Amino acid sequence: MAVAAPPQSPESIEEQRRWEGSLDQLRGLVSERAMTGETMLLNMGPHHPSTHGVLRLLLELDGEQIVSCLPDIGFLHTGIEKSIEDKSYEKALPLTDRMDYLSPMSNNMAYAAAVEKLLDLDVPERGQIIRVVCLELARCASHLVWLGTHAIDMGAMSVLLYAFRERERILGMFEMLSGQRMMSSYIRPGGVWRDVPADFLPTIKQFLNDFPYKVDDYEALLTKNPIWKDRAQGVGVIEPDVALAYGMTGPALRGSGVNWDLRKAQPYSGYETYDFNVPLGEHGDVYDRYLIRIHEFRESMKILNQAVSRLETVKGPFRSENGKYCPPPRSELGQSMEAVIHHFKLWTYGYDAPDDEIYSAIESPRGEIGCYIHGTGANKPRRVHFKTPSFIHISALPVVAKGYLLADMVAIIGSVDIVLGDCDR
């Protein structure tokens, strides 16, 4: 006896209809030829293996050629910014982890840097060095996921297995630092949660020793691979002026040859004291953006090597010792009444931040992630807004994709490296 499929409720059918939208609603957004059926409208996503999450694209196709592309976002809108308004500054931090879930450390840093700017709080040198280590490790981990998934989209299956092998090692180091593999909440306003454990330095040194050879392995699989080149070269060209006009940042912008990296342009966390280069592309195509991220692995290695050697020499506090904003060390709680008061105040009420608005930005693996905070004078912000690179890159997709083939679309989406959690928040 066959069981009938569970009936759809009238509400869900109704919602479905609204979601799909009628052709009339698309008038003006797609070309007139779509109205007569001369071109085809194709729905890609939100459940599609190559949209890197829950992105929906409405594509208008002439044969296989993309005539227009309408991104539909919001399938992962989580209300993070609104939720933060109801939390004290310290307690809002874990929410920021979950925006750009490929590099939570960068989100933490963007938020922490903004709060520090609002409070005028200084971070001790050791704290800054640990931050740089975390940020560059996060950059590698994020680029590794990008490399694996981008290669799968283009038909190279095995790269993912190699990339995730190294990513597991980075996640292991994050776990060592923070106790969590991904959602670490490690970088906090005023510094970092705790000092690096004793076995962290040998582990990261071993990793820094091995990783350059692994990057060579990835390059051996892809860089000169004729299939890869055919799929990537000359595809998804972003002209520099288009990239700037849309406000693109990160590898997507540098692939077009525009030299803009916030680590150089507006250094934070002591990046100005490190010696590294910013790789630039020439053609602005998918292949250049691939090469840039591969080079960024090597540049991150450079920064990490310098930072790790500094970690060995620079001692001292790893977070601000201002008891109003940062919790006292555990060892003081049994001895100092002041420390107990600070601790109690911090975990129950938090701290007041001035009634002021600030914006501060950092360079995440995807580009500029900025944080705008409007304080109220009390312990909760009036408004927090994140400017995220994925949102901007998705908004530029229609211009970038126009004229290319449907199969190139997955290459373009992969190469600008969007994360829908980052876009929708």
Partner 1 sequence: MGVSSKLGNLGIVTTTVEQAVNHARTGAMWPLLFGLACCAIEYMSSQASSYDLSRFGMELNRATPRQADLLIVSGRLTRKMAPVVRQLYDQMAEPKWVISMGDCASCGGVYNNYAIVQGVDEIIPVDVYIAGCPPRPEQLLHGILTLHEKVKGERIADWA
CB of 52 to partner 1, least distance (A): 9
Residue 78 binds partner 1, judged by CB under 8 A: yes
CB of 162 to partner 1, least distance (A): 8
Applying CB under 8 A, the span of 158-166, 224-232, 274-282, 335-343 interacting with partner 1 comes to 158-166
Phi, psi of 255 (to 5 degrees): -60, -30
# residues near partner 1 by CB under 8 A: 48
Residue 168 binds partner 1, judged by CB under 8 A: yes
Say how many CA atoms lie within 13 Å of 13 toward its Cβ: 5
CB of 248 to partner 1, least distance (A): 24
Of 179 and 316, the one with the shorter C-beta distance to partner 1 is 179
Q: Which residues does 264 contact at the CB level (< 8 Å), separation at least 6? A: 271, 272, 278
Of 87 and 264, the one with the shorter C-beta distance to partner 1 is 87
Of 3 and 337, the one with the shorter C-beta distance to partner 1 is 3
Q: How far apart are CA 117 and CA 190, in angstroms?
A: 10
Of 152 and 416, the one with the shorter C-beta distance to partner 1 is 152
CA torsion sign, 234 to 229 to 408 to 411?
negative
Residue 12 binds partner 1, judged by CB under 8 A: yes
Are 83 and 385 in contact, with CB atoms under 8 Å apart? no
Applying CB under 8 A, the span of 125-133, 154-162, 269-277, 377-385 interacting with partner 1 comes to 154-162
Of 1 and 198, the one with the shorter C-beta distance to partner 1 is 1
Of 84 and 304, the one with the shorter C-beta distance to partner 1 is 84
Give me the residue label for tokens 């807004």. 385
Residue 213 binds partner 1, judged by CB under 8 A: no
By CB under 8 A, the residues from 218 to 247 that bind partner 1 are none
Q: How far apart are CA 5 and CA 79, in angstroms?
A: 33
SS3 43: strand
Q: Quickly list DSSP for 356-417.
A: -EEEEEEEETTEEEEEEEE--SSSS-SEEEEE-HHHHHHHHHHHHHTTSBHHHHHHHHHHHT
Are 363 and 274 in contact, with CB atoms under 8 Å apart? no
Q: How far apart are CA 261 and CA 60, in angstroms?
A: 35
Of 56 and 342, the one with the shorter C-beta distance to partner 1 is 56
Q: Which residues does 134 contact at the CB level (< 8 Å), separation at least 6? A: 105, 109, 174, 177, 184, 186, 187, 192
Residue 198 binds partner 1, judged by CB under 8 A: no
CB of 257 to partner 1, least distance (A): 31
CB of 241 to partner 1, least distance (A): 34
CA torsion sign, 331 to 336 to 339 to 344?
positive
Residue 366 binds partner 1, judged by CB under 8 A: no
Applying CB under 8 A, the span of 3-11, 116-124, 194-202, 281-289 interacting with partner 1 comes to 3-11
Considering only residues 117, 181, 214, 374, which one is a binding residue for partner 1 as defined by CB under 8 A?
A: 181
Q: For the chain, how big is the Rg over CA atoms in Å?
A: 23
Q: How far apart are CA 172 and CA 164, in angstroms?
A: 12
Residue 161 binds partner 1, judged by CB under 8 A: yes
Nearest by Cα to 104 from 289, 381, 369: 369
Considering only residues 33, 165, 330, 402, which one is a binding residue for partner 1 as defined by CB under 8 A?
A: 165
By CB under 8 A, the residues from 30 to 49 that bind partner 1 are 46-49
CB of 54 to partner 1, least distance (A): 6
Residue 421 binds partner 1, judged by CB under 8 A: yes
Are 229 and 287 in contact, with CB atoms under 8 Å apart? yes
Say how many CA atoms lie within 13 Å of 157 toward its Cβ: 0
Which residues contact partner 1 by CB under 8 A? Answer: 1-3, 5-6, 8, 12, 15-16, 19, 46-49, 53-54, 74-80, 82-83, 94-95, 98, 101-102, 145, 148-149, 160-165, 167-168, 171, 181-183, 420-421, 424
